[in-house]
Structures are given as structure tokens and as C-alpha cells.
Amino acid sequence: MESLLRRIDQSTILSQCIPLALTVVILGILLTVLHASLALLNQIPGAIPILMVIRPADVLVGATIYLKTEIDFAILIGRLMDLYPGWRNRVALEIGSALGNAGGTILIIGLWVLLKHVDLLLALDGAYRLFGTL
């Protein structure tokens, strides 16, 4: 194993291809997890289903927000890669970034699905305060 890692360290092509291949694998895994999470959230009774359709207007709005935050994030990642050089650290940064991004996306969508019926929650709270029980 050590000889394989040393070979990757010495080869410019391998030190670029390995992180790119791992990025594609992580992308596939996280897309599957995101799709499964959306399918699970669509099973919540009474919830309005999340449409799994790509609409150009939504893509433009999302891309605008994404590009703004991505510039700041690229500066941060660039500084971290400068502090921690090497393909192994690059892989760790990419995987950590991808997992954090996917986890945050799933969390925000989950909160949106659960809390978009706040008026229903307020009505239940009012009934509980009025009648003391549901």
C-alpha cells in the first residue's frame, strides 16, 4: 500500500486523476443520497411533494446565489490547499466539502418541508392553549 501511495505522490498524472475519480464517485453517492432523501421527504403525510423537475428559472436563481457563495468558498479552499499541499489533503478537503454541502442541502430542504406548514402548527398551538388538550 505504501508503494502505491508513493507512486501516486511521484506521478503528476496520478496525483490529478485520483482526486478527480474520487470526486466523481462521491458525486454519484451524494446524488443518490439526496434523491433518496427527497423521495423520503415526499412520503410525509400532508406535505406538498417536492418536485424533482428542473425548471430554467429556478436554475438561474439558484446559480446566482451559488456563484456568490462559491467565490468566498473558493478563496477559503484555496487558502486551505496552500496550507496543506498534496493530493491526500486535497482529497480530504474535497470530500469534506462535498459532505458538508450535501448535508446542509438535505437539512435545509428537510426543515423547509417540515416547517412550511407553520400556520398549521400555530393553529395546533392555539387549540392546545384554548382547550388544554388536542
The 10s digit of each residue's pLDDT in 73-113 is 888 888 888 888 888 888 888 888 888 888 988 888 888 88
**What pLDDT is attached to residue 58?**
84
Q: How confident is the model at residue 117 (pLDDT cuts 50, 70, 90)?
A: low
Average pLDDT over all residues of the chain:
82
**Residue 91: which H helix or E strand, with range?**
helix 87-115
- Taking the alpha carbons at both ends of the chain, their separation in whole angstroms is 62
The structure's pTM equals 0.67
Q: Is 129 helix (H, G, I), strand (E, B) or coil?
A: helix
**What pLDDT is attached to residue 76?**
84
Mean pLDDT of 51-58: 84
